[in-house]
């Protein structure tokens, strides 16, 4: 018998934006309807045996469906949220991973707790903020860290531009790791600017357990970036998952 492949096996082609229509705009965000080309639905008849192909093509129903599916590059709309503040920056903002280092202490990760109206609850997050005009991601990270926590630090590394929630928004950020010398006088009792945030430092080597305890005690919502970081630390320091034996 000749090998046969499914008639409606899709062939992927590049998708692209056709148009963006502004629906509403506020001070900080705007809501748009994005129209883009969706290339799915193409049909291929390659791989059919000659007899199967002949019978298929002699069917008017098959020919009609084939034409429809081959033209199925659909214009699809998507509801999109964008920041109204984006200008010429490399990304919308920065997310800071502050590592507090002190003599005779475990390394700690500095987090901020603040009320988030969209969530209707207090959230535990990395310090973060928008990048100002003509400001580098590194400079923005140091500025935001000092404003939100009072700490002054040094840049360890800065990520490339990464997306935040690509199914909803085009918001982007740099993740900037900052080391803080907790023995320096300016970092012994740091004074943050009044931003209605509470600074919480948790030991890096027990971050997941401490996060879970805070969630249970205070009913906080943990930011996905913080939880992912804690989960990565946990996986990096625990026994690898066992691979199940294959049954033959």
Write out pLDDT tens, residues 139-179: 999 999 999 999 999 999 999 999 999 999 999 999 999 99
Contacts of 97 (CB under 8 A, 6+ apart): 109, 126, 175, 176, 177, 178, 229
Whether the per-residue pLDDT at 44 is higher than 60: the answer is: no
**Top mean-pLDDT range of 11-15, 41-45, 192-196:** 192-196
If you average pLDDT over every residue of the chain, what do you get? 84
pTM of the model: 0.78
Rounded Cα distance between 68 and 245, Å, is 46
Q: CB pairs under 8 A, 24+ apart, for 232-237? A: 233/204, 233/205, 233/207, 233/208, 234/207, 234/208, 237/205
Rounded Cα distance between 175 and 229, Å, is 11
Q: Which of 236, 95, 67, 235 is nearest to 162 (CA)?
A: 95
């Amino acid at each position: 018998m000749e090998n046969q492949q499914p008639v409606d096996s899709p062939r992927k082609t590049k998708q692209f934006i056709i148009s963006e229509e502004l629906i509403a705009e506020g001070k900080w965000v705007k809501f748009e309807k994005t129209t883009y080309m969706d290339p799915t639905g193409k049909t291929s008849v390659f791989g059919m045996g000659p007899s199967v192909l002949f019978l298929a093509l002699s069917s008017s129903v098959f020919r009609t469906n084939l034409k429809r599916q081959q033209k199925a590059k659909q214009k699809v709309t998507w509801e999109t949220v964008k920041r109204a503040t984006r200008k010429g920056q490399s990304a919308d903002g920065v997310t800071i991973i502050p590592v507090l280092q002190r003599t005779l202490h475990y390394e700690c990760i500095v987090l901020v707790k603040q009320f988030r109206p969209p969530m209707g609850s207090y959230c535990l997050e990395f310090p973060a903020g928008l990048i100002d005009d003509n400001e580098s991601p590194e400079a923005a990270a140091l500025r935001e860290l000092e404003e939100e926590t009072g700490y002054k630090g040094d840049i360890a590394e800065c990520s490339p531009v990464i997306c935040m929630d690509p199914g909803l928004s085009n918001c982007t950020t740099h993740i900037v790791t900052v080391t803080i010398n907790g023995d320096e006088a300016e970092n012994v009792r740091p004074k943050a600017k009044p931003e209605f945030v509470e600074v919480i430092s948790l030991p890096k080597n027990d971050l997941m357990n401490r996060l879970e305890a805070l969630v249970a005690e205070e009913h906080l919502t943990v930011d996905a970036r913080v939880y992912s970081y804690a989960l990565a630390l946990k996986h990096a320091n625990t026994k690898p998952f066992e691979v199940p034996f294959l049954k033959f």
